[in-house]
Amino acid sequence: MKTQVAIIGGGPSGLLLGQLLHLQGIQTVILEARTPEYVLGRIRAGVLEQGMTDLIKLAKADSRMLREGHVHTGFALAFAGRSERIPLDTLTGGKAVTVYGQTEVTRDLMDARAATGGISVYEAQNVKLHDFYGDKPRVTFEKDGELVELECDYIAGCDGFHGVSRQSVPAGAIQEFERVYPFGWLGVLSRTPPVAEELIYANHERGFALCSMRNPMLSRYYVQCPLDDKVEEWSDDRFWEELKRRIPEQAAEALITGPSIEKSIAPLRSFVAEPMKFGRLFLVGDAAHIVPPTGAKGLNLAASDVATLYDALRRTYHDGRADLLEKYSEVCLRRIWKAERFSWWMTSILHKFSDDPFAHRMQLAELDYYTSSLAGRTTIAENYVGLPYELLV
């Protein structure tokens, strides 16, 4: 079996890269360890930067997003009994974000790939990467009990934090940076109308809370909780009561509650692996970096990696510019670390780290300063809508 680019991982980043390359006449094979149903069952982010929506349009997978996605021109920061709106459009020259669930993005990209005849192998087991420091890399995997060898020019590791791609890199060739946060997010999905038209991020003495949404009748809410909490300890009633305590009074009074249709606790971490290129292997998205979800950057950072790798591969095959692939890691990491900083800052300023009243007062003072200053609001807005992609030259 042969292809030009082997893509490990069939989540949104792998599918997006595969679709973009396919439309440029570059052959790809996507290998995914799970079933399509499992991939679609993952409940993840739902705030898309303009850069990502542009890539989805370029991939010709945007029709449903344009119909059903909700453009948000602002969001609220709630603290100390106040709710301060950050007007994204007026602070960034008209930029905004689109609320559209990662599950829907994945489904649209799956459908687009199927329509164009792209090859995706699901339930590919025992995937192993070989010879990626040479000029003839290959991938072996098992499918239906048979061993398959896939020859390729390049390998894109889009298989997430726990995937085989980063694990295949020799230990001495990679450096990892990590911060694990001492709390988690308890998330609830409910078939109820959102409490507000825009997202609400709340700092409260009891802990962080977030009011988000997927569509006009599907809401996503979160509260900060201890890492050792169990989902079973949180009844729906307990969750709704805790959420009401932490969000602004007006929002709490307007909140429509209902049975949860999904409930989970997610740990938070910041993580970066350097570099992201190893011979002809390129790490993409969560395989190379993780951000806490507070800044809505995880899926968007993966998209910016995809944009850079897609551009480099397209110009390699079409223009003979293989030198651009050498810049992949350097270019990606500059944007990654800025997004890591913003996600870390949002996490640090909104969550409860201790019972220290001084620390909480410092958070409130910083939130007051940033939301009362044009420069502060602009800094938040510029980072939230997404910093510009850097062009390869």
Catalytic residues: 72, 201, 293, 297, 384
Burial 251-274 (b: 16+ CB within 10 A, else e): beeebebeebeebebeebebbbbb
Element (H, E) at 161: none
Task: Count CB neighbours of 226 within 10 A.
Answer: 11
Q: Can you tell me the distance from the alpha carbon of 150 to that of 156, in angstroms, rounded to the nearest whole number? A: 13
Q: Give the three-state DSSP class for 285.
A: helix
Q: Which residues contact 15 (CB under 8 A, 6 or more apart)?
A: 30, 106, 109, 110, 113, 120
The candidate with the shortest Cα–Cα distance to 207, out of 181, 232, 243, is 243
Please give the structure tokens belonging to residue 272: 């970066």
Burial 339-353 (b: 16+ CB within 10 A, else e): bbebbbbbbebbbbe
Q: Can you tell me the distance from the alpha carbon of 277 to that of 308, in angstroms, rounded to the nearest whole number? A: 12
Q: Can you tell me the distance from the alpha carbon of 176 to that of 193, in angstroms, rounded to the nearest whole number? A: 41
Please give the structure tokens belonging to residue 300: 């968007």
DSSP letter, residue 370? H
| Amino acid (1-letter code) at residue 13 | S
Q: Which residues contact 236 (CB under 8 A, 6 or more apart)?
A: 188, 257, 259, 260
Please give the structure tokens belonging to residue 358: 């001084």
Beta strands 281-283; 154-157: pairing state: parallel
Helices assigned H by DSSP within the chain:
12-23, 36-40, 50-58, 63-68, 88-91, 102-116, 164-167, 236-246, 249-254, 298-319, 328-350, 357-372, 374-385
DSSP letter, residue 2? B
